[in-house]
Amino acid sequence: MLPDMSLPLIFVTVSVVELLVLAAVEDRIGLGPTLAIILFTGILGASLVRSQGFSVFARARLQMSQGTFPGRELAHGALVLIGGALLLTPGFLTDALGFALMVPGFRELVRRRGTAFLQRRAPL
């Protein structure tokens, strides 16, 4: 388990790294293009979150209509929400992870690893 100060330290570290990356990109290509990329990735990310969210929701509804619990789809839905939050956060590193979470295959990998981690941490 993470100590009490780990989560704030992670947020501060990610923010500082994102600022350094943004500054480096701005030095290379200029302020206008950097801001345009950030805006473009935000718009594209919102579109992807919407389409992936609808897709996950449709699969969950199908499973429920067939009488099965949509546990896998609920996990995918949570990962889409996390990816959406990352895409709304300005920065290149958070965008990269957010876009990765919009890819169903990557989400499934994260879901499997997360499930295995939780099973090791809290065996039934």
Give 24-54 pLDDT, tens digit per residue.
999 999 999 999 999 999 899 999 999 999 9
Mean pLDDT of 59-73: 93
Note the pLDDT of residue 124: 65
Residue 7 has pLDDT above 90, yes or no: no
Residue 4 has pLDDT above 90, yes or no: no
Tokens for 120? 């090791």
Tokens for 117? 């981690």
Mean pLDDT of 14-20: 94
pLDDT-derived band at 3 (thresholds 50, 70, 90) equals: low
Which of the pair, 121 or 32, is modelled with greater confidence? 32
- Mean predicted lDDT score pLDDT of the chain: 91
